[in-house]
Amino acid sequence: MSNKRLQHPFWDINNPFLWNSEEERHLRANDRAFNLQFDYAKNSIKTSKYNVFTFLPLNLFEQFQRIANAYFLFLLILQLIPAISSLSWFTTVVPLVLVLAVSAAKDAIDDVNRHQSDKQVNNRPVKVLVNGSLKEDLWMNVEVGDIIKLENNNFVTADLLLLSSSEPHSLTYIETVELDGETNLKVKQALTVTAELGEDLQALSSFDGEVRCEAPNNRLDRFMGTLVFKRQKYPLDNEKMLLRGCTIRNTDWCFGLVIFAGPDTKLMQNSGRTTFKRTSIERLMNFLVLVIFVFLAALCLILALGHSIWEYHKGYYFQVYMPWADEVHSSFFSAFLIFWSYVIILNTLVPISLYVSVEIIRLGNSFYIDWDRKMYYSPSDMPAQARTTTLNEELGQIKYIFSDKTGTLTQNIMVFNKCCINGTSYGDVLDSKGQRVEISESTSKVDFSENPLADPKFVFYDHSLLEAVKRGDNATHKFFRLLSLCHTVMPEEKKKGALVYQAQSPDEGALVTAARNFGFVFRARTPETITVVEMGETVVYELLAILDFNNVRKRMSVIVRSPMGKLTLYCKGADTILYERLHPSCGCLKEKTTIYLDEFAGEGLRTLVVAYKNLEESYFEDWQMRHYEASIALDNREEKLSLLYEDIEKDLMLLGATAVEDKLQDGVPQTIDILGKAKIKIWVLTGDKQETAVNIGYSCNMLYDDMRDIFIIQGKTSQEVEEELRKARKKMNPEAFVDDRELDIHVRKPGGSKVLLDEEPNAEYGLVINGYSLAHALEGPLQLELVRTACLCKAVICCRVTPLQKAQVVELVKRHKDAVTLAIGDGANDVSMIKTAHIGVGISGQEGMQAVLSSDFSFAQFRYLQRLLLVHGRWSYLRMCKFLAYFFYKNFTFTLVHFWYGFFSGFSAQTVYDEWFITLYNMVYTSLPVLGMSLFDQDVNDRWSLQFPQLYEPGQQNLYFNKMEFVKCTLYSVYSSLVLFFVPYGTMFDSLRTDGKAISDYQSFALMAQTCLLIVVSVQMGLDTAYWTAVNQLFIWGSLAVYFVITFTMYSNGTYLIFTASFPFVGTARNTLNQPAVWLSVSLCVALCVLPVVGFRFLKTQLRPTISDKVLAEVQTLRLPPPSPKHCLRRGSSRRSGYAFSHQYGFGALITSGRNMRPRSPFNLSGSFSPNALRRHK
């Protein structure tokens, strides 16, 4: 049977920004034979790359795809050809084998870890329905079409179609923290036809429904398909699916049909294909290697031409003394062979040890991140982790950060912080003089021990509010009664008195919990009643209607009848909405409440206004009849219901306002503030509503009232969005604004892509754009407008965005801005964004680890990001730049001495140094000093790095190592090589020892040249080292000592007698290095090479100091221990709404329908909390 095609597009995971048509999935329940014909993936996952048999060939194949490794293999082959070999084979084999072995060991360790992770997941237990009974099996053995049983707190094994559950109407509660980072519960419901199967194993085994649905894709919020069962077709959507990565909560058991397994699940599809990330420095290094290859070819060509000319005019006549090889018959062919000989000799222009050293430096700097105790989160025993070792230096160049909100900036925990009741504010702690006191750990907490149903985790500090409740203040009682009634929370009381609230949004949970602790305990609900324990006495209200929340209404109401028969409407919502519906008599109270609302909003709290209205029985009966007629209308039902809600929700009596803190992770405002000072721009990409996202923006100091303007982009069409974006950009940068749309794009085109130049705004601005407008802005012609406008802003917030849009926004900035990006998140919905950015960071510590598994770096708290970037990132970038500059310098200088020597040796491809010195120069004599600097160097310590975030800017501008710095390094190397060749040459030319014997021989010259070279590069290393440690001292002085020990040993009589052919420089060291003229020349070389550098650096610091020079001068001037960073955070003062409410539409209808109610009462209503179980409400 062949698969059919669906008519709608899906996102191609292999190329996340191309859409394609995919084939549909067709399966039959309990029929493996039928499903096997389609060859669907099993539930096992594999993230490893190798096995025992494929490791060696695959790894070597991958390594020789690197141009450097292939180049050195080519050199080795050349060295095995006697006619052109000018160096022994071991000079290339030893370093090449070392490089391959180190890289292979690192790859093997990484793959073993992946194997272990795969094994742990694949071997989780699960119950599979087989032939009418449940069989214990492993996750890896589950296949498409299987029916499995899950129990409370189980992870969902695969993407399942929910069939039945233990809850009424087969509802199932799930937690999706691993998918989206949210901890609030979500509800899924099975089809009625499958819900009837219950837990009857025989009925489930005989279930043979056929499912046709969409192909595997990464859309977490969407599923389309149909179920055919008993010749009836039923529609399937996302509300009936349990996705892998979710956790079953508050549901004893449920059964599900496997639709997607293993790599086809939406969780794994969001993981995508791991792309190999390269840093900008690595890309520059690869480019420079190609330039060096061209440079090398040019040098070899010059020397080969010189050889041809010399042989033609001179060598041809000296064949009696220096005969040509048998195969050489002309000077041209001799020059051709000499060309390849010089390729071998000058190969140290691109030393293979460069790549080994880079890997070691990155590995060492990764260990610093892993070992940093200041990034260790003790509550969850979670250290920071560098999950990749190839991106460290790019952490020092970040210009844009893209962050998720829920679980990343916030803890997804709402705390009832303050309130305003009848014009009086509660929540602040005041001293005896009436001055506000900062709350600390020593501040006295309100004692709720008299309330046996109080939540012990609830904390409040203002004692006056509890006192107002106890003395029977009427307004206060009405306020908390409203909070205990106006909501859609579900209570759970498995043990008597141990209440647990299941709230659809954490906002509601916080408000109902506050009412509970202040004596108004929401205890139980049915579709028709709400039971509240008011000040110790149980009261049952009749629930007549729930006027549900939606994004347009921005409010919700309930209509209840008290035991005395009194009808009341209780309402809570946004201040901007409810203020329009207040009774005129509330004017004075409205002004007082507004003052406190402004204060709450300025502190970043999420506010709601609460009000009530007493209803006449006759009016309500008429309204109820009209409501029924509207609810069954076939046309314009939503509009008719909305008008009815408007009619009854007017002339409300204001009670006050609530202020809930969307609890940020510790240190988030301070972190964002210090990153802003480092010229890092932060964009928040969230699926939350605009009000919630903006509120968090103010709370965490991204947005503040000192900004000149905050633009809200909410156009419904492409034209509206374009107009709003252009209007915003014109205000931010009117000078650069050109009305001609073709001319209004300032770009350069490296590689064909349009890279926008940086523009400067005339002040600080913020930008907020919703998902609908963003969808238009991400379309072709508007992309550049979006990037130009958004990049002018100091902060950008994108609301209601999908995982795809998150990745598209990051890709857009990557493509059109010459900047390094970082994405940080904690859920599976952030994975595509994390993988798209140059650097991906996962927040660990929660159950949701999908983002961590896909990230490059991970830690437990957002605040650690400032240390990762400003300390570890900046140090890594600085060290890598110093390493590359010094490494190219020492190797160019070493190699170019060969070049100058060629002009004095008849271009004969004779080496100027001893072969053993050539072999050991990069691997022994100069490797440890440069590694010591690259692993330990720091211009300032970590405290000063955080105190002066401006030090981060040179990395963003890539000032420390770029093409111009490479040119400077090359010119300096040319100069140094001239000094290091001609000073020893002049010293040795026709010179005599102090005893009258000649030392102007090749071996003495070679020894002096290599000694001068090594001392000069060691002194240069000392100049480049800013932070001296015992290790640096040991490496530099130790390497020099090792050089002299090895030299005197290899040039000794004993070594010559044992290995005559290998060590021909017998006696050279003791005969040359005991001459004063030699050491005078060494000193002259050092002075000539080093003094110009010292002078240039001094003048540059005095005449054109960089920001780093200024900060370093200030640090040296202070000469005090760096202070702890202090951040004075901006607080808002102007009028803005602090409204934010994460409730979703539709939950009220679920409650009033009774579908989520158990048939049994959750507790005995005749409890002992009151002398009379039920009382009439006065």
Query: Is residue 652 helix, strand or coil?
Result: strand
Which residues have a Cβ under 8 Å from the Cβ of 106 and sit 6 or more positions away? 359, 363, 389
> 């955080």: which residue's tokens?
946
CA distances from 1072 to 807, 911, 988, 993 (A): 66, 19, 10, 8
Mean pLDDT of 1147-1173: 47
Based on DSSP, count helices (H) and strands (E) in the chain, helices before strands. 40, 39
Which residues have a Cβ under 8 Å from the Cβ of 36 and sit 6 or more positions away? none
| Distance separating alpha carbons of residues 615 and 609, to the nearest angstrom | 20
- Catalytic residue of the set 146, 404, 673, 826: 404
| Distance separating alpha carbons of residues 55 and 114, to the nearest angstrom | 14
- Res. 757: pLDDT tops 90: no
Residue 894 has a pLDDT of 93
Length in residues, the chain: 1178
- Tell me, what amino acid is at 46? K
Residue 1119 has a pLDDT of 59
Which residues have a Cβ under 8 Å from the Cβ of 836 and sit 6 or more positions away? 16, 807, 810, 811, 814, 823
> 């929700």: which residue's tokens?
649
Beta-strand runs (E) in 819-904: 820-825, 839-843, 857-859
Best CA proximity match to 757, nearest among 745, 771, 742, 741: 745
Count CB-CB contacts under 10 A for residue 1166. Answer: 10
> 């073709």: which residue's tokens?
742
Residue 53 has a pLDDT of 87
Residue 1064 has a pLDDT of 66
pLDDT exceeding 70 applies to what percent of the chain? Answer: 85
| Distance separating alpha carbons of residues 94 and 1067, to the nearest angstrom | 27
- Among the ranges 116-130, 334-348, 424-438, 967-981, which has the highest mean pLDDT value? 967-981
Residue 1162 has a pLDDT of 37
Residue 1150 has a pLDDT of 60
Best CA proximity match to 485, nearest among 379, 591, 566: 566
- Tell me, what amino acid is at 214? E
Q: What are the tens digits of pLDDT across the range 933-982? A: 999 998 888 888 898 898 999 999 888 999 999 999 999 999 999 999 99
Least confident of 21-30, 162-171, 757-766, 848-857: 848-857
| Distance separating alpha carbons of residues 969 and 885, to the nearest angstrom | 6
Provide the Cα torsion 778, 780, 781, 784; round to 10°: 60
Please check whether residue 457 is in contact with residue 416, taking contact to mean a CB–CB distance below 8 angstroms.
Answer: no
H/E stretch holding 655 reads strand 653-664
What's the chain's Rg over C-alpha atoms? 37
- Res. 1165: pLDDT tops 80: no
Mean pLDDT of 1079-1091: 92
| Distance separating alpha carbons of residues 237 and 66, to the nearest angstrom | 48
Bridging pattern class, strands 681-685 and 795-799: parallel
Please check whether residue 688 is in contact with residue 799, taking contact to mean a CB–CB distance below 8 angstroms.
Answer: yes
Residue 157 has a pLDDT of 92
Please check whether residue 461 is in contact with residue 445, taking contact to mean a CB–CB distance below 8 angstroms.
Answer: yes
| Distance separating alpha carbons of residues 360 and 106, to the nearest angstrom | 11
pLDDT exceeding 90 applies to what percent of the chain? Answer: 35
* DSSP letter, residue 1059: S
pTM here?
A: 0.79
Structure tokens at 35: 């499903």
| Distance separating alpha carbons of residues 177 and 245, to the nearest angstrom | 8
| Distance separating alpha carbons of residues 820 and 829, to the nearest angstrom | 22
Structure tokens at 653: 């009596």
Residue 634 has a pLDDT of 73
Best CA proximity match to 481, nearest among 615, 649, 612, 645: 612
| Distance separating alpha carbons of residues 6 and 12, to the nearest angstrom | 14
C-alpha angle with apex 832: 830 to 838, nearest 5 degrees?
100
Q: What are the tens digits of pLDDT across the range 344-379? A: 888 888 767 777 788 889 889 999 999 999 999 988
Paired residues of 542 in beta bridges? 529, 561
> 């429904």: which residue's tokens?
209
Best CA proximity match to 593, nearest among 776, 422, 805: 422
Sign of dihedral through CA atoms 698, 702, 704, 707? negative
Residue 851 has a pLDDT of 78
Paired residues of 843 in beta bridges? 859
Give per-residue burial for 296-313: e unless 16+ CB within 10 Å, then b: beebbeebbebbbebbee
Mean pLDDT of 62-85: 75
Please check whether residue 194 is in contact with residue 211, taking contact to mean a CB–CB distance below 8 angstroms.
Answer: no
| Distance separating alpha carbons of residues 1163 and 1159, to the nearest angstrom | 12
Mean pLDDT of 70-74: 78
Best CA proximity match to 791, nearest among 711, 736, 729, 869: 729
CA distances from 924 to 332, 919, 1009 (A): 38, 9, 18
Active-site residue, 830 included: no
Residue 1173 has a pLDDT of 35
Least confident of 49-63, 69-83, 86-100: 86-100
Residue 640 has a pLDDT of 86
| Distance separating alpha carbons of residues 1098 and 220, to the nearest angstrom | 59
| Distance separating alpha carbons of residues 527 and 1149, to the nearest angstrom | 10
Provide the Cα torsion 122, 125, 128, 131; round to 10°: 110
What would you measure as the largest C-alpha separation in the chain, in angstroms? 130
Structure tokens at 999: 């030392």
Q: How confident is the model at residue 206 (pLDDT cuts 50, 70, 90)?
A: very high
Residue 10 has a pLDDT of 36
Q: Crossing angle, helix 280-313 and helix 67-79, to 10 degrees?
A: 30
Q: What are the tens digits of pLDDT across the range 777-817? A: 888 778 888 999 999 999 999 988 877 788 889 999 998 88
Which residues have a Cβ under 8 Å from the Cβ of 490 and sit 6 or more positions away? 501, 502, 503, 525, 1151, 1156
Residue 136 has φ and ψ, to the nearest 5°, of -70, 125
Mean pLDDT of 701-708: 85
- Res. 452: pLDDT tops 60: yes
- Res. 1034: pLDDT tops 90: yes
